[in-house]
Amino acid sequence: MMRVMRNEKHSARTAAKEASHERIVSVAARAIRRSGYDGTGVADIMKEAGLTHGAFYAHFPSREAMLAEAADRACTDVAATVANFVATVPAEKALAAMVHAYLSPQSLANVESGCPLPALGSETPRQAPAVRRATTRYVKAMVDLVARQSPDWGQAGAHERALFTVAAMVGTLLLARAVDEPALSNSLREATLKHLVPA
């Protein structure tokens, strides 16, 4: 009987720790997109997660470890969302729908839960190798997803066009968010849409 109670307590403690860890990573994944890597502090993350600052080291050996996990979460969540979205669209319209969704006004405004590349791209080269590795996996996944929407998927041309498409989408969103003139922001998005998805 005592062993069963100990196991139940251990399981409950483990589940609680896993739930706290999940909350921290989720909060950090939003925070890095909102405030950048350098603007994301441990104290703020723990406060937003509803945990004490001291509890941080029960979950991560360092701030860099948390940032790496947050980057991975931000990337995998967005990749899964895009893949699920593409699965709901007829194959011949998937690429156009993906580009339109990525460059939509909603996506422009949705920094905190949107694609991490425009939000973090300029900071990423100065981050720990684990953060850069997460970003690299995400870029490859996005390029692959775009290439798979091409009628000549598997050919060199499809991969090259996918590289260009992803670079154009990310760069456009980054610039459209950076400028302080709404008209210029819209022009950047519309020009890219015109060239990536001709009527």
Count CB atoms within 10 A of the CB of residue 53: 13
Q: Identify the burial level of 45 via C-beta atoms within 10 angstroms of its C-beta, where 0-12 means exposed, 13-18 middle and 19 or more buried.
A: buried
Element (H, E) at 138: helix 129-147
Residue 61 CB contacts under 8 Å (≥ 6 apart), including other chains: none
**Rounded distance, CA 174 to CA 147, Å?**
22
CB 144 within 8 A of CB 162: yes
- Structural domains counted in the chain: 1
Q: Identify the burial level of 163 via C-beta atoms within 10 angstroms of its C-beta, where 0-12 means exposed, 13-18 middle and 19 or more buried.
A: middle
Q: Tokens standing for 196?
A: 């990536």
Residue 119 CB contacts under 8 Å (≥ 6 apart), including other chains: 32, 33, 34, 36, 111
For residue 152, the model assigns a pLDDT of: 86
Q: What is the pLDDT of residues 16-66, one digit of tens each?
A: 889 999 999 999 999 999 999 999 999 999 999 999 988 999 999 999 999
**Residue ranges making up the domain that contains 178:** 2-196
pTM score, two decimals? 0.84
Predicted confidence band of residue 7 (pLDDT cuts 50, 70, 90): low
Mean pLDDT of 6-21: 77
User: What is the amino acid identity at position 106?
Assistant: Q
**Rounded distance, CA 77 to CA 98, Å?**
16
Region of poorest pLDDT, from 4-8, 108-112, 127-131, 166-170: 4-8
Using the 8-state DSSP alphabet, how is residue 188 labeled? H
CATH number of the domain encompassing residue 41: 1.10.357.10
Q: Tokens standing for 105?
A: 């006004």
For residue 190, the model assigns a pLDDT of: 96
Alpha helices in 36-128 (DSSP H): 42-48, 63-87, 94-102, 105-109, 116-120
